[in-house]
Structure 1
Amino acid sequence: MSSPAPARPRPVHQAADLLAAYLPGSFYYSSARGSLLADGVYAPVHAAPGRRARAAAEVLDAALVAGVTEPVVAGAIGFRPDAPSSLVVPALVRKAGPPKASGPVAPLGGSWTVSPRPAPEVYTTAVAKALDEIRDGDLRKIVLARCLDVTGGDPVAVPRLLARLVHADPAAHAFAVDVSAPGDPAPRTLIGASPELLVSRRGRVVTANPLAGSRPRVADDVENARRVDDLLASEKDRAEHAHVAAQVAEVLGRFCVDLDVPAEPEVIGTPTMWHLSTKISGRLADVTDAGSSALGLAEALHPTPAVCGVPTGLARDTIAALEPEDRGYYAGLVGWTDQDGDGEWVVTIRCAEVRDRTVRLFAGAGVVAGSDPAAELAETGAKFGTMLRALGLEGVE
């Protein structure tokens, strides 16, 4: 009887090579956990909200039987329940360690025109209306967003834009996802570098890192220290953050036997912002159910008050009434889950959609009692900074 053929060694990839190999149409994701590049489509995952994790588990099982090596489900889900989703089990997946700081990446170059959507005064009027709703009704928090359309003379070099995002902050959750829909005149790519971990799962261990309450980061260390202290002392920002942390803890508590929720937030920084942060961790009671996979947990958590509001349904309806532009994938979720249920999903912020020559940037700010419309406008302007810096347009709001 012949002996079984020896197992083929798994190829070893470098994070820099995966980033260099990215082309529009691929799925790219990197964070401090590692890098992932996926190509081709074994099968799409189509299911109603709340059913996607179970549908994904079925497709992953089929992919494994069909010979797909270490299959994952990867992609993005939009903000609203009726928003589009772009989830697939790719035909080929390559993994590597986390990206490392490298030399500078050449700027995109060229000239750009910038158009706010809506106009700044329309946004501040919407914030004022939201404050009226909070004062007079049941709404306690709402996140209002706006856009910038940045248009160049030539098609946007998406791989270079992605490389600049990763280089600027290798620890961020960087992503590029094809979100083209039938009838689109040109391919669309959702791209960004999110600071906010919605949920990560490794075996029984679950981690979430909700963020809410922000200050812009500047070049002066003394001023940054003052802003961090101010953020920690701000009753308004701490109240806004508490809404988010409490809801994330409540949802994860349904799945976990142990849950660690710090009593006080801390401050974390990105190259452009400071955020109040609470790192929540727990141990799953059941790892066998698809609902407790990384994707299942992400579906249960979405949308958090960090991108929607409190109460969720009223905030979402008010957003639809006050925001003139459809969010699409902004404030949704992006990430991946493997056949064991492990994976990582982040909130789709500090992001943009690229289509041909146009980059549509998104940014939002949390509105609670005591918010100031001009300050919320300034906060969204600061949050545009991640993508504007990658485009070589720092200082534009």
Structure 2
Amino acid sequence: MAVLCQHKIEEQLRFISEKANRPFISWSGEMDYVDPVYFFALGQACSFRQRFYWSDRANETVYVGLGCAYSIETEEKEQRFRIVETEWKRWMEQIAFDHNGTAATPILFGGFSFDPFKTRTEKWRAFPHAKMVVPTVLLSLKNKKTTLTVTVPSKRHEEMMKKIRRLMLLLSQEQRQPTSSLPTLVKYEEAQKEEWIHAVEKTIRNIREGKFEKVVLAREARLSFADAIDPSAVLQQLREQQPFSYLFAFEQEGQCFIGASPEQLVKKEGAACYSTCLAGSIRRGKTFQEDEKLGQWLMHDEKNLREHQFVVRMIKEAIEAVCERVQMPASPQLLKLQHIQHLYTPVVGEKCRAASVLSIVEQMHPTPALGGTPRERAVKEIRETEPLDRGWYAAPIGWMDAEGNGEFAVAIRSGLLCGKETFIFAGCGVVGDSDPMSEYEETKVKFAPMLSALGVERDE
């Protein structure tokens, strides 16, 4: 069936190209179910140098992209969200596409750096301040349907078609789960641990002096392995171990930013938009009784409740600015994940006036859960005090469609795969009554999801 699909794709693309005089052409069609991690793994076998993966927390919407038909990237600091939005609208006018009876269209997938004013380090060289990509081949699993969308330039796409033919041939064969094993850990190093603890101490003093209410400080660990890490193997582990998180991967130039985030930034779906307040956390218990005790402590701890309220207040105001009505519970709930539990408050906005999901992302990033409050002063403190280049860590990552709908998560619980080296990241909210060593221990808990996905087990 897949080989026949290949001929149909080529035939339809020729037809679209002849019918419409546009620089880009795209075709979509339904196909049999394909395991999305398997599809992602096939990208490497077909020599696609860029790969993308996204699934929402309910696993109801999954996108896997291979290759790059078109990309929008900028190093502009002040207007990066608007530049991407404007370029996307302009590009949509240059494409002719055939839905073929489906609801599918090309989508734009990618992310942004946390702070464009922070000096970039070499490890983030492949990740500009904004980069979003239209995949050459997009697998969509949505509303219990599997759809393939192929997007190419209307001329000079022969090399792309060779890769697509190879992909279709492999898809026609028996599907097998990725079998790559995770290599042996050679070295584990917590980067600048003492500097980070001193930064926390300094920030606590500044908060007590009234300069801020909260500042989020992140740190990193560096892992060296005996061989290069296969992103497909890590993705498979994340899918098995973090079933209620957003899964994402963005691979290019031999580097892959990958993670399993529990935190939604914003979703726009027509006139409705959704967001999540997630702040305040503690580890999971080893027994049911211990887990319940820890959860109840979190639900009543003043520091964590205050930290959570900062996020609730900001996100509520941001959604109220673009929606006629906002609905949210009066008190937080518990969100229990494999290694950690959080205070969690869902937010729903009705009659949304925003032109696109990106315009809401621009207003919301960074929330107090990732930056602090007041926002501008907190981000400046992070820039000057934090011994880390966050790159895309803790920044928006997600997708947008032709109608401006889409969804972005906050790229936490994540790591950057660089051949035999991997960098993982974790942060915590610092307030006036924070204890530096307690905050350090919290970041160790937040390292756990990526460590586990990398096949590394460490004592808490």
TM-score (norm. length: structure 1): 0.89
The Cα of 1:54 is off from its aligned counterpart by 2.4
**Residue 311 of structure 1 is aligned with which of 369, 374, 384?**
374
The Cα of 1:43 is off from its aligned counterpart by 1.6
**Does 2:425 match 1:362?**
yes
The Cα of 1:221 is off from its aligned counterpart by 1.1
**Which stretch has the larger CA shift, 256-265 or 226-235?**
256-265
The Cα of 1:218 is off from its aligned counterpart by 3.1
**Residue 42 of structure 1 is aligned with which of 53, 56, 69?**
69
- 1:330 is paired with a residue whose SS is coil
The Cα of 1:98 is off from its aligned counterpart by 9.2
**Residue 265 of structure 2 is aligned with which of 183, 190, 198?**
198
**Which stretch has the larger CA shift, 105-114 or 209-218?**
105-114
**Does 2:93 match 1:62?**
yes
**Does 2:158 match 1:95?**
no
Aligned to 1:183: none
Aligned to 1:322: 385
**Residue 161 of structure 1 is aligned with which of 217, 234, 258?**
234
The Cα of 1:116 is off from its aligned counterpart by 0.8
Aligned to 1:279: 346
Residues 147 and 328 from structure 1, CA distance in 2 versus in 1: closer, same or farther, beyond 3 angstroms?
A: same
**Residue type at the aligned position of 1:62:** E
The Cα of 1:21 is off from its aligned counterpart by 3.7
**Which stretch has the larger CA shift, 49-58 or 256-265?**
49-58
**Residue type at the aligned position of 1:171:** F
Q: Map residues 1-397 of structure 1 onto 2, 5 A cutoff.
A: 9-16=29-36, 17-21=38-42, 23=44, 25-31=50-56, 32=58, 33-47=60-74, 48-62=79-93, 64-65=95-96, 70-82=105-117, 84-97=129-142, 108-119=182-193, 121-178=194-251, 180=253, 187-286=254-353, 291-395=354-458
The Cα of 1:363 is off from its aligned counterpart by 0.1
- CA distance in 1 between counterparts of 2:83 and 2:286 reads 43
Residues 310 and 9 from structure 1, CA distance in 2 versus in 1: closer, same or farther, beyond 3 angstroms?
A: closer
The Cα of 1:358 is off from its aligned counterpart by 0.6
Percent of pairs identical after alignment? 30
- 1:27 is paired with a residue whose SS is strand
The Cα of 1:220 is off from its aligned counterpart by 1.3
- CA distance in 1 between counterparts of 2:296 and 2:28 reads 55
CA RMSD, 1 decimal? 2.5
**Residue type at the aligned position of 1:13:** Y
- 1:279 is paired with a residue whose SS is strand
Deviations 1:251-302 (A, max 9, x none): 111110111122101110111110001100012343xxxx532222222211
Aligned to 2:123: none
- CA distance in 1 between counterparts of 2:143 and 2:219 reads 31
Please tell me whether the aligned partners of residues 210 and 277 of structure 1 are also in contact (alpha carbons under 8 angstroms).
Answer: yes
Aligned pairs, number: 379
TM-score (norm. length: structure 2): 0.77
**Bigger relative CO (Cα 8 Å, ≥ 6 apart):** 1
**Which stretch has the larger CA shift, 19-28 or 167-176?**
19-28
The Cα of 1:64 is off from its aligned counterpart by 3.8
- 1:292 is paired with a residue whose SS is coil
Deviations 1:15-65 (A, max 9, x none): 444455454621111122321011222221135324145225325513543
Larger radius of gyration: 2
Q: Stretches of 4+ moved more than 4 A in 1?
A: 66-69, 103-107
Residues 203 and 149 from structure 1, CA distance in 2 versus in 1: closer, same or farther, beyond 3 angstroms?
A: same
**Residue type at the aligned position of 1:210:** C
**Unpaired segments of 5 or more residues in structure 2?**
1-14, 16-26, 118-127, 145-176
**Residue type at the aligned position of 1:154:** D
Aligned to 1:184: none
